[in-house]
């Protein structure tokens, strides 16, 4: 069986959703499980709803906007009396009834933003049904069990596998369609797997079902060695080893969610990244292989923050101090993107999230003088050649630089 994942861009409007149906048609007779993201920029819009709730502002207007976007699409795809209207209506009602302002912020976040996937999954399912496909809609939260970490749920693999396995027999007769990005914790609340987490959901279902492959359908021709919007001469990789792809995601290549590769590589399930608009293009295959020469990969990661801790007396940075810093970072669930130390200071670059930075600085200030710079961009050049190495090292505005034999990283003021 195959797992297909359609991202937000692939279900962003009625024509795109019809395209999903035309792609499924190409695979007639195959066993398929489909994972869908929220439509277009719905998750961002739902994040604005969360922000309104949390600041005590009226969130109804934002929610109405989301609703009317979905209704526009539904009007194009369905009659007014189609059951999908009820299903969608029920999702909005259920959302409002579950909103408890006293909920912890991250918990509330997950209850709200998960709605995007619920909506799109109903709409896509019902369109496929209308086109004659035998589709069964399932609620991913009944299958993906996570711990209680909101916004970044950690999968309980034993429970999840036990839940998902029985779907095998359903796949003998039906195409299964479900939501990406969401799961449920033992307390019965919805959790999310991290932004862009639908790819990871596809990998989870694939690993638990022993799928023959996963295909991510995207609005690009495959995995490219740079963002073509930034570097117009970017090229598509025909194939990539799992390891290379995993490292790319670590450095911030946004093509695949970072957690996606591991379950696939462990189960030797190849991952195809294919073009939604032209399924006949070969795309990229990510699998267990050796590639002799890999084109240099250039990743731009915006919205970075450099935190520097300086010792306040005349001691040097030592292991005990490093351990204090790492403990604070890890307890706040922060990921370090690059780090560097000197005799008297330790600097590290992280994604900027104001609430987290403030908490972190507060803790670090107990032992250090702490400075931080925001509005930075981290550029990683993996498998660089000498020309790229020189070009990026000479960029203006570099405030940190680091290189190994294969990788150069520069942090610049953007
Ligand atoms: N809808 C979620 C997001 O935009 C998950 C995904 O698209 O993969 O982050
Ligand atoms: Mg997406």
Query: pLDDT tens digit string along 216-256?
Result: 999 999 999 999 889 999 999 999 999 999 998 888 887 89
Distance from residue 8's CA to the centre of ligand 2 (Å): 5
How much is the pLDDT for 292? 87
Which pLDDT band holds residue 358 (cuts at 50, 70, 90)? Answer: very high
Q: Residue of the nearest CA to atom 3 in ligand 1?
A: 196
Mutation probe of ligand 1 site: the residue of 10, 197, 255, 256 with most atoms within 8 A of C-beta: 197
Query: pLDDT tens digit string along 62-112?
Result: 999 999 999 999 999 999 999 999 999 999 999 999 888 789 999 999 999
CA 410 from chain centre, in angstroms, equals 24
Average pLDDT of the segment spanning 319-341: 95
Mutation probe of ligand 1 site: the residue of 16, 34, 35, 38 with most atoms within 8 A of C-beta: 38
Ligand 1 atom showing the smallest separation from residue 201 Cα: 8
Query: pLDDT tens digit string along 141-158?
Result: 999 999 999 999 999 999
How much is the pLDDT for 342? 93
Average pLDDT of the segment spanning 263-280: 97
Which letter does DSSP use for residue 78 in this model?
Answer: S
pTM of the model: 0.90
Distance from residue 78's CA to the centre of ligand 2 (Å): 24
Q: Residue of the nearest CA to atom 6 in ligand 1?
A: 196
Which pLDDT band holds residue 312 (cuts at 50, 70, 90)? Answer: confident
- pLDDT exceeds 90 at position 314: no
Q: Which residues line ligand 1 (CB under 6 A)?
A: 7-8, 37-38, 43, 116, 180-181, 195-198
How much is the pLDDT for 315? 87
Distance from residue 195's CA to the centre of ligand 1 (Å): 5
Q: 279 or 255: which carries more pLDDT confidence?
A: 279
The set of residues, in sequence order, having a beta carbon less than 8 Å from that of 305 and lying 6+ positions away, is 349, 350, 351, 352, 357, 372, 373, 374, 376
Which pLDDT band holds residue 381 (cuts at 50, 70, 90)? Answer: very high
Ligand 1 atom showing the smallest separation from residue 7 Cα: 7
Average pLDDT of the segment spanning 111-140: 98
Matching fold, domains 2-287 and 297-413 = no
Tell me how far apart the alpha carbons of residues 340 and 186 are, in angstroms, rounded to a whole number: 39
Percentage of the chain lying above the pLDDT 90 cut: 92
Q: Give the residue extent of every domain in the chain.
A: 2-287, 297-413
How much is the pLDDT for 186? 97
Ligand 1 atom showing the smallest separation from residue 44 Cα: 4
Which pLDDT band holds residue 313 (cuts at 50, 70, 90)? Answer: confident
Q: Residue of the nearest CA to atom 2 in ligand 1?
A: 196
Tell me how far apart the alpha carbons of residues 162 and 49 are, in angstroms, rounded to a whole number: 35
Nearest to 209 by CA among 271, 161, 257: 161
How much is the pLDDT for 100? 81
Q: CATH assignment of 297-413? A: 3.30.2130.10
* 3.40.50.300, 1.10.1740.10, 3.40.1160.10, 3.30.365.10: CATH of 2-287: 3.40.1160.10
Nearest ligand to the C-alpha atom of residue 194: 1
- pLDDT exceeds 80 at position 206: yes
Question: Residue 112 has which token pair?
Answer: 């709200």
Between 47-51, 250-254, 294-298, the lowest mean confidence (pLDDT) is in 250-254
Locate tokens 């969401």: which residue? 182
How much is the pLDDT for 36? 98
Ligand 1 atom showing the smallest separation from residue 38 Cα: 1
Nearest ligand to the C-alpha atom of residue 180: 1
Nearest ligand to the C-alpha atom of residue 202: 1
| Mean of all residue pLDDT scores within the chain | 95
How much is the pLDDT for 144? 98
- pLDDT exceeds 90 at position 309: yes
Environment class of residue 29 by beta-carbon count within 10 Å: exposed (0-12), middle (13-18) or buried (19+)?
Answer: exposed
Q: Residue of the nearest CA to atom 8 in ligand 1?
A: 196
Question: Residue 239 has which token pair?
Answer: 């194939």
């Amino acid at each position: 069986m195959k797992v297909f994942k359609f991202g937000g861009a692939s279900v962003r409007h009625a024509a795109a959703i019809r395209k999903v149906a035309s792609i499924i048609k190409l695979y007639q007779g195959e066993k398929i499980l489909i994972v869908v993201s929220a439509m277009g920029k719905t998750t961002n819009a739902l994040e604005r709803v969360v922000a309104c709730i949390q600041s005590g502002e009226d969130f109804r207007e934002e929610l109405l906007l989301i609703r009317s976007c979905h209704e526009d699409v539904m009007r194009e795809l369905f009659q007014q009396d189609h059951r999908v209207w009820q299903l969608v209506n029920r999702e909005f009602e259920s959302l409002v009834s579950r909103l408890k302002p006293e909920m912890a912020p991250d918990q509330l976040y997950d209850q709200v933003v998960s709605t995007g996937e619920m909506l799109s999954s109903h709409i896509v399912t019902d369109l496929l049904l209308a086109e004659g496909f035998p589709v069964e809609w399932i609620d991913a939260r009944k299958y993906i069990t996570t711990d209680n970490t909101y916004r970044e749920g950690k999968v309980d693999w034993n429970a999840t596998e036990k839940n998902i396995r029985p779907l095998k027999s359903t796949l003998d007769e039906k195409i299964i369609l479900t939501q990406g990005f969401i799961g449920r914790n033992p307390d019965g609340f919805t959790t999310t797997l991290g932004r862009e987490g639908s790819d990871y959901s596809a990998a989870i279902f694939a690993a638990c079902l022993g799928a023959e492959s996963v295909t991510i359908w995207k609005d690009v021709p495959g995995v490219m060695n740079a963002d073509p919007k930034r570097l117009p001469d970017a090229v598509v990789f025909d194939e990539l080893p799992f390891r290379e792809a995993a490292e790319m995601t670590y450095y911030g290549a946004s093509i695949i969610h970072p957690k996606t590769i591991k379950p696939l590589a462990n189960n030797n399930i190849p991952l195809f990244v294919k073009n939604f608009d032209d399924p006949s293009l070969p795309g990229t295959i990510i699998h267990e292989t050796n590639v002799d020469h890999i084109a240099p990969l250039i990743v731009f990661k915006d919205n970075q923050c450099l935190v520097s801790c300086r010792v306040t007396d005349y001691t040097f940075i030592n292991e005990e101090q490093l351990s204090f810093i790492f403990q604070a970072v890890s307890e706040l669930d922060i990921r370090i993107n690059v780090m560097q130390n000197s005799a008297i200071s330790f600097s590290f670059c992280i994604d900027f999230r104001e609430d987290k930075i403030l908490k972190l600085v507060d803790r670090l200030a107990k032992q250090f003088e702490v400075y931080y710079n925001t509005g930075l961009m981290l550029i990683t050049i993996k498998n660089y050649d000498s020309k790229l190495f020189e070009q990026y090292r000479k960029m203006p505005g570099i405030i940190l630089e680091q290189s190994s034999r294969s990788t150069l990283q520069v942090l610049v003021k953007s």
